[in-house]
C-alpha cells in the first residue's frame, strides 16, 4: 500500500514532536531522527522545496535532518534538508520552524484527510517511552473555589432499636461510647444495638447516670442471662416512674466493666476512647519534639483534688471550701540555692491509723537537706518494718516530735518551690502540710495497665533507669526514695511529656471537640463542646470538657436547664437513689427521702424535667451504671482484713479466713454488680418544617 504524500515539512515536525521525550538531550534526539532514515516512507516533490530563500537556511541553533528517498522509476536518490528547531519541539510547539510556518499551518487545515503522513513506518524503528500521566487534582482543591452551599435538612433522624443480638453477649459501655461518637463525630463505626438514619440531623446526646436503679426495681430478679431488650410494658415498672413508660419503649440489658474480683469505673469506660497504632505513634513523635520543664509536670488543681491532696491557699482555682485549717501551709519566702525538692516519709501504724516516724528532704542534686526520725505521741501497734524500715530500737532515744518535723519542712520549702514525691498526698496528709506546686511520679508515669492503677516507685526505677531499690527485708529508705523520685522527673523532662505514659486512650470529650458544629457563627466554624454536671469538683482537667459541680440532684437538673443549649454532649449524674439504697456512703450529707416510693417520685420528676428541656432531634440515654454493689464491697472488705492480719502475724487475731468458697462468693457478687441496664429514646420534633443550616 502506497504511503500518502506530505506536502511540506509541517506534518513531519508535528509527528516528531509528538514522539519526542522532554528529558532527552539534543544529541539523543538527533540519533532518534537518524534512525528513521532507513526506509523511504514518503516523497517530497521538487516544486515544494522548503528552501524558498536564503533566509530559510538553518542557523547555529538549528539542526538539519536529511530525509532521503529513492525514486522507484529511475533509482536515483534525491535529498531534501529541512531545518529543525528542537527548542520548538521541547516547548511543545507544533508546526514549521520557517518564517512561513503560520501560512503553511493555514494550508494544512485545507488538506484532505487522505494526504496525512503515515506514521506506521516512521515509528517502526523508534523506541516508544510512555509519557508520565498527569496528576489528578484533588477534589478538595477543586472544591476550594466553590461557593459554600446551604443544606436543608428536610428529613429528621430516625431511630430503630434492634430486638435481636447478633453479638450473643450483653451490650457494654463500649457500645454506648461508639453510639455517642457515631452521632457527634465523623467516627466510622456504628452501634450494634440500633440503627440511626440521617444522623447529621441529631442535635445533642444527653447521657444521664442513675446509679441505684436495678433490675429489681422492674420486677426482674436478674439480667445476667438477658441479651435482648425487654418491653417496659412487660416489666413491673413502678407507677412513680411513669416517665419511663411515657418516653421509652424498652429496657436494655447492659454489662458494667470489671474483672472477677472487682468492677471498674463505668464513667471511665464511657469517656475514654482506645487509640489506634497510628495515633499513638504520632502522639509520641510530637511529644519528643516538644521541650518541657518542671512547670509542665505540676499537678493541676483538679488533679490535686481528685487524688486527695490537701489544698494550699495559693493554689489556683475555686478552692474556698477545700482549704482546711488542720493543715499548715508552706510560706512564701526568699532563699538561696535549690528551689526544687524531693520529699519522702515513713509511717508506722497506731490505733488511730498511720503516724509519722521519719521525714527526708533532698534537693535537685541529691543532697540531703532534712533526715529526721520522729517519735509519735501515740503508741505504735505495728512498725510494718518490712515497708517502713523503722523498728522499735530505732525510735528508742528519738526526741524529735511531730511538730518539730513539720517545722523542719516548712523552714526549707517555700510555697514558690516545687515539691516532688511518689504518691505525695500520703506524706503531706500525714505531715498535715499543704503545698501548691506538686510533681507526683505516680502520676507522671503510668502503670503498665494504665490508669487508674499506679506503678510502684520500685518498678519505675527498674523499668526506666535499670536500678533496683527497696531491696532486702530492712524495708524502705526514705532518702533513697526521695532521690529516686528526683531522678525519674529529670528523665521525664529529657524525654518529653508522654515518656513513661501508656498511650492507650484518649478522652471522648477531646474526640468530640475535633468535629465542628453544623452551624457557623459569624462566619467562623466552632468545635463541638461537652458539659459534665455531677458531684465532682468543677475543676479544669487536661481534656476539654466544661464541668459544673452540684451537691443535690435538683441542682443538677437546674444547671442542665440553664446550660444544655450550649453543648453537643451533656453528661449528668443523679445520686439520690444510690445514697438512699446505701450503694455508697452519703458523703454529701444529702437529705434523703423516707421511702422508696418517694425516691422514685423524686427521680421521675427530675427525669421528666430533663426530657422536657432537651432539644428536639436529640438522644436521651438513661443508664444505671452498675448493679447492686453492697455484697461485693462486703466481701472485698473481708478479704482486705484477712490479708492484713495474715501478713502481720499469720492471723493471730483469728479473723474469718479467706477460702475458696469466699472467692466464689466474691465472683458471684461482682457479676451481680455488673448487672446494669439503660434506656434510650430519640426526642422527636413537634414542628417538622425545614431548617436551613449553614455548613
Q: For residue range 359-413, list pLDDT tens digits in order.
A: 999 999 999 999 999 999 999 999 988 889 999 899 989 999 999 999 999 999 9
User: Among candidates 689, 682, 678, which has minimal Cα distance to 171?
Assistant: 678
Residue with cell 422536657: 612
DSSP track, 503-568: --EEEHHHHHHTSB-SS-BTTB--B--EEEEESS-----SSS-EEEE-SSHHHHHHHHHHHGGG-S
Domains in the chain: boundaries: 10-122, 155-275+505-628+674-687, 277-503
Residue 36's pLDDT is what? Answer: 57
Q: 25-29, 488-492, 535-539, 547-551: which range is least confident on average? A: 25-29
Contact 29/20 with Cβ under 8 angstroms? yes
Q: State the cell numbers at 55.
A: 533566509
Location of C-alpha cell 428529613: 155
92-143: pLDDT as tens digits = 444 444 445 555 555 454 444 444 444 444 444 444 445 445 555 554 443 4
Tell which residue, 512, 465, 504, has the closest CA to residue 485: 465
Q: What's the CA gap between 263 and 636, in Å, rounded?
A: 11
The DSSP bridge partners found for residue 10 are none
Kind of pairing between the strands at 438-440 and 418-421: parallel
Q: What integer best gives the mean pLDDT of the chain?
A: 80
| Residue 341 near residue 420 (C-beta atoms within 8 A) | yes
Q: Residues near 583 by Cβ (< 8 Å), separated by ≥ 6?
A: 211, 212, 628, 629, 630
CATH number of 155-275+505-628+674-687: 3.40.720
Which pLDDT value is given to residue 475? 72
Percent of the chain residues topping a pLDDT of 90: 50
Highest mean pLDDT among 131-145, 146-160, 277-291, 366-380: 366-380
**pLDDT at residue 540 greater than cutoff 60:** no
Radius of gyration (C-alpha) of the chain in whole angstroms:
41
Out of 447-456, 603-612, 679-688, give the one with best mean pLDDT: 603-612
In this predicted structure, what is the pLDDT of residue 55? Answer: 42
% pLDDT > 70, the chain: 74
Q: What is the CATH number of domain 277-503?
A: 3.30.420.10
681 vs 2, higher pLDDT: 681
Output the pLDDT for position 33: 62
Chain segment 556-590, per-residue pLDDT in tens: 999 999 998 889 999 999 999 999 998 888 877 88
Amino acid at each position: 500500500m502506497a504511503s500518502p504524500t506530505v506536502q511540506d515539512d509541517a506534518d513531519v515536525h508535528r509527528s516528531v514532536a509528538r514522539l519526542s521525550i522532554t528529558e532527552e538531550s539534543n544529541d539523543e534526539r538527533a540519533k532518534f531522527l537518524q534512525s528513521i532514515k532507513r526506509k523511504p516512507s514518503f516523497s517530497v516533490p521538487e516544486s515544494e522545496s522548503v528552501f524558498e530563500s536564503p533566509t530559510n537556511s538553518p542557523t547555529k541553533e538549528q539542526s538539519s535532518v536529511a530525509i532521503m528517498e529513492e525514486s522507484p522509476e529511475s533509482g536515483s536518490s534525491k535529498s531534501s534538508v529541512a531545518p529543525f528547531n528542537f527548542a520548538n519541539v521541547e516547548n511543545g510547539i507544533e508546526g514549521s520552524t520557517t518564517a512561513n510556518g503560520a501560512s503553511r499551518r493555514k494550508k494544512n487545515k485545507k488538506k484532505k484527510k487522505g494526504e496525512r503522513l503515515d506514521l506506521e513506518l516512521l515509528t517502526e524503528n523508534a523506541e516508544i517511552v510512555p509519557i508520565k500521566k498527569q496528576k489528578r487534582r484533588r477534589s478538595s482543591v477543586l472544591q476550594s473555589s466553590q461557593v459554600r452551599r446551604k443544606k436543608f435538612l428536610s428529613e429528621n433522624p430516625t431511630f430503630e432499636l434492634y430486638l435481636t443480638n447478633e453479638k450473643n453477649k450483653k451490650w457494654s459501655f463500649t457500645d454506648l461510647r461508639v453510639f455517642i461518637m457515631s452521632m457527634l463525630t465523623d467516627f466510622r463505626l456504628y452501634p450494634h444495638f440500633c440503627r440511626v438514619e440521617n444522623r447529621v440531623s441529631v442535635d445533642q446526646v444527653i447521657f444521664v447516670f442513675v446509679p441505684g436503679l436495678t433490675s429489681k426495681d422492674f420486677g426482674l430478679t436478674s439480667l445476667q442471662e438477658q441479651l435482648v431488650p425487654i418491653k417496659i410494658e412487660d416489666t413491673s415498672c413502678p407507677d412513680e416512674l411513669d416517665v419511663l413508660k411515657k418516653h421509652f419503649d424498652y429496657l436494655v440489658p447492659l454489662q458494667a466493666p470489671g474483672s472477677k474480683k472487682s468492677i471498674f469505673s463505668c464513667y471511665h469506660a464511657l469517656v475514654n476512647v482506645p487509640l489506634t497504632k497510628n495515633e499513638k505513634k504520632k502522639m509520641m513523635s510530637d511529644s519528643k519534639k516538644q521541650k518541657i520543664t518542671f512547670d509542665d509536670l505540676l499537678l493541676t488543681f483538679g488533679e490535686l483534688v481528685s487524688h486527695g491532696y490537701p489544698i494550699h491557699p495559693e493554689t489556683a482555682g475555686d478552692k474556698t471550701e477545700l482549704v482546711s485549717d488542720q493543715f499548715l501551709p508552706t510560706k512564701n519566702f526568699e532563699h538561696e540555692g535549690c528551689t526544687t525538692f524531693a520529699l519522702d516519709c515513713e509511717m508506722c501504724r497506731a490505733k488511730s491509723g498511720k503516724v509519722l516516724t521519719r521525714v527526708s528532704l533532698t534537693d535537685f542534686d541529691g543532697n540531703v537537706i532534712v533526715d529526721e526520725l520522729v517519735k509519735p505521741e501515740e503508741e505504735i501497734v505495728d512498725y510494718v518494718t518490712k515497708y517502713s524500715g523503722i523498728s522499735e530500737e530505732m525510735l528508742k532515744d528519738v526526741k524529735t516530735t511531730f511538730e518539730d518535723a513539720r517545722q523542719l519542712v516548712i523552714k526549707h520549702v517555700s510555697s514558690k518551690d516545687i515539691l516532688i514525691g511518689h504518691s505525695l498526698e500520703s506524706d503531706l496528709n500525714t505531715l498535715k502540710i499543704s503545698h501548691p506546686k506538686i510533681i507526683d511520679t505516680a502520676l507522671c508515669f503510668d502503670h503498665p495497665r494504665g490508669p487508674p492503677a499506679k506503678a510502684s516507685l520500685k518498678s519505675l526505677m527498674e523499668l526506666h533507669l535499670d536500678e533496683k531499690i527497696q531491696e532486702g527485708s530492712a524495708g524502705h529508705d526514705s532518702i533513697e526514695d526521695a532521690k529516686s523520685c528526683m531522678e525519674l522527673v529529670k528523665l521525664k523532662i529529657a524525654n518529653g511529656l508522654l515518656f513513661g505514659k501508656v498511650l492507650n486512650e484518649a478522652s471522648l470529650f477531646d474526640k468530640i471537640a475535633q468535629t465542628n458544629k453544623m452551624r457557623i457563627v459569624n462566619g467562623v466554624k466552632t468545635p463541638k463542646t461537652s458539659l459534665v454536671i455531677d458531684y465532682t469538683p468543677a475543676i479544669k482537667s487536661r481534656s476539654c470538657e466544661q464541668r459544673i459541680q452540684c451537691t443535690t440532684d435538683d441542682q443538677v437538673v437546674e444547671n442542665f436547664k440553664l446550660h444544655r443549649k450550649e453543648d453537643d454532649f451533656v453528661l449528668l449524674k443523679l445520686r439520690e437513689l444510690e445514697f438512699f439504697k446505701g450503694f455508697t456512703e452519703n458523703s454529701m450529707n444529702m437529705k434523703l427521702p423516707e421511702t422508696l416510693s418517694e425516691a422514685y417520685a423524686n427521680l421521675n420528676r427530675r427525669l421528666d424535667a430533663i426530657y422536657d428541656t432537651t432539644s428536639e432531634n436529640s438522644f436521651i440515654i438513661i443508664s444505671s451504671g452498675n448493679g447492686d454493689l453492697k455484697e461485693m464491697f462486703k466481701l472485698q472488705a473481708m478479704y482486705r482484713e484477712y490479708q492484713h492480719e495474715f501478713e502481720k502475724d499469720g492471723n493471730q487475731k483469728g479473723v474469718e479466713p479467706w477460702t475458696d468458697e469466699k472467692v466464689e462468693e466474691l465472683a458471684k457478687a461482682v457479676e451481680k454488680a455488673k448487672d446494669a441496664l439503660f434506656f434510650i429514646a430519640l426526642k422527636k420534633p413537634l414542628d417538622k418544617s425545614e431548617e436551613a443550616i449553614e455548613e
